[in-house]
């Protein structure tokens, strides 16, 4: 029969979150798994003899969405040469034998037709934040002194948020307003200084001259946006015991970290001729990718307390000083990709930059441990991380093609929070 002192010492020595001192529970007694399961778990004198351990955990974390409020599209279109306005204000002549024709009225170049009602904002992507599932793997070795060395890797699957604006306004509003019938079924995005390959369909509507509604982003029929986030983190850390008694231990740890926040904003706009047909070059796509790759040391401390019946609770707190190597890239192109069906050349505008930042981090996690038998640990808990001074494309779209300078800037803080559950094995 094991004593309570021996049981506490065994639990505190056997966890995956190792940092125990060499506590001798019952000298001369060799512990083996109970029940004795048919895999090589545990070993004699686990309280003082080192060995390999590993763990696999399921994690669910939610992260900050850095997108801010930026207007992308409004309802309507610009009459570039004024011919559409001239036809709308002209006189329709009906004949018995010929097709009716219009005696064009005064031209008003640059006239905006439609109500200009906002149709799509970047922050339509907000409010959709979700927990991202993923996993964390650990492999480590505990030395006889009680110190331990381990490596961990955590990966979260992508979170993707989307929004869209198309032909029909909300509640079919203003279809007869704005200076032209159905003008609000079109979308206008304020891009300018674009090359002529972004001209779009030659005749978008039946009125006016060819090219009167010039541009893919002028008189478009659909604009969709989405935002994707990914996260990975790899650590190598060593742990040393500070204090331990029969049922409690404190320890410190330090190591090196790589953390990677990858984000992509994507926008796709489609224009069509007055028959509703779109060619590959009548599509405009815009991408803004920001990759924060952070490297540096971290250090922290932890405490674990046995509460009885094979359960223990633990808390860790840590800080890190990371150097952020930021890869930034924005592209605007006519069409999804080059195609044999294209009648105009494929054109891509691109801006790429690499920047650096100092990114502090603080983190904490609270865990509940259960040791159903020696050599096995099951744990569940809550995790919190906060990164400061990372880079983000909060207002992701650059409308001026001349300078093409997306608004990449420092974000004060990003939060991650969520839970984990997993199993650890000691060999």
Both structure tokens of 160: 């993707």
- H-helix or E-strand spanning residue 162: strand 148-165
Q: List pLDDT tens digits, range 223-273.
A: 999 999 999 999 999 999 999 888 899 999 999 999 999 999 999 999 999
Percent of the chain with pLDDT over 90: 63
φ, ψ of residue 4 to 5 degrees: the values are -60, -40
pLDDT at 373: 81
Lowest mean pLDDT segment, chosen from 29-38, 86-95, 165-174, 322-331: 29-38
Q: Return the structure tokens found at 183.
A: 């003008």
Alpha carbon distance 212, 199 (integer Å): 10
Q: What is the pLDDT of residues 172-206, one digit of tens each?
A: 888 878 777 788 999 999 999 999 999 999 888 88
At 117, give phi and psi (nearest 5°): -65, 130
Total Cβ atoms within 10 A of residue 181: 12
Task: Provide the percentage of residues in the chain whose pLDDT is more than 70.
Answer: 88
DSSP 235-249: EEEEEEEEEE-SSEE
Q: How many CB atoms lie within 10 A of CB 276?
A: 7
Rounded Cα distance between 218 and 204, Å, is 10
> Do 371 and 9 contact (CB within 8 A), yes or no?
no
Name, in order, each residue with C-beta under 8 angstroms of 113's C-beta and a sequence gap of 6 or more: 76, 77, 78, 79, 84, 85, 88, 178, 179, 180, 183
CB 46 within 8 A of CB 33: no
Alpha-carbon span 370 to 56, nearest angstrom: 15
184 and 75 Cβ atoms separated by less than 8 Å: yes
The pLDDT of residue 280 is above 70:
yes
Largest CA distance in the chain: 114
**Lookup: tokens for 14:** 């056997």
């Amino acid at each position: 029969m094991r004593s309570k002192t021996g049981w506490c010492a065994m639990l505190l020595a056997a966890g995956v979150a190792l940092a125990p001192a060499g506590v001798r529970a019952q000298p001369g007694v060799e512990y083996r798994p109970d029940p004795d399961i048919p895999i090589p778990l545990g070993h004699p004198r686990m309280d003082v003899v080192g060995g390999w351990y590993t763990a696999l955990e399921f994690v669910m974390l939610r992260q900050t969405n850095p997108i801010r409020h930026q207007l992308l599209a409004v309802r309507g279109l610009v009459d570039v040469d004024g011919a559409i306005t001239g036809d709308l204000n002209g006189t329709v002549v009906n004949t018995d034998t010929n097709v009716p024709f219009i005696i064009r009225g005064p031209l008003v170049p640059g006239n905006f037709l439609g109500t200009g009602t906002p149709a799509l904002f970047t922050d339509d992507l907000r409010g959709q934040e979700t927990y991202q599932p993923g996993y964390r793997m650990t492999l480590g070795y505990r030395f006889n002194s009680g110190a331990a060395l381990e490596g961990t890797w955590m990966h979260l699957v992508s979170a993707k948020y989307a929004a869209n604006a198309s032909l029909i306004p909300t509640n079919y509003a203003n279809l007869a307003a704005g200076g032209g019938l159905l003008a609000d079924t079109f979308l206008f995005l304020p891009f300018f200084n674009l090359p002529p390959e972004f001209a779009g369909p030659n005749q978008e509507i039946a009125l006016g001259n060819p090219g009167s509604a010039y541009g893919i982003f002028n008189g478009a029929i659909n604009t969709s946006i989405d935002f994707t986030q990914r996260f990975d983190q790899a650590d190598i850390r060593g742990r040393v015991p500070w204090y331990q008694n029969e049922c409690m231990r404190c320890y410190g740890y330090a190591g090196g970290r790589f953390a990677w926040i990858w984000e992509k904003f994507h926008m796709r706009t489609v224009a069509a001729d007055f028959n509703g047909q779109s060619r590959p070059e009548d599509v405009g796509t815009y991408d803004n990718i920001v990759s924060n790759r952070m490297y540096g040391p971290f250090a922290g401390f932890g405490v674990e307390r046995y509460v009885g019946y094979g359960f223990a609770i633990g808390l860790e707190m840590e800080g890190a000083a990371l150097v952020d190597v930021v890869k930034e890239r924005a592209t605007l192109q006519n069409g999804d990709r080059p195609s044999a069906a294209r009648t105009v050349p494929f054109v891509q505008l691109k801006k790429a930059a690499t920047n650096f930042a100092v990114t502090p981090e603080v983190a904490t996690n609270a865990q509940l441990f259960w040791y159903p038998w020696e050599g096995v640990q099951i744990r569940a808990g809550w995790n919190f991380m906060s990164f400061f001074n990372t880079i983000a494309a909060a207002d992701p779209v650059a409308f001026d093609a001349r300078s093409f300078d997306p608004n990449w800037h420092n974000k004060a803080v990003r939060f991650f929070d969520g839970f984990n559950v997993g199993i650890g094995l000691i060999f």
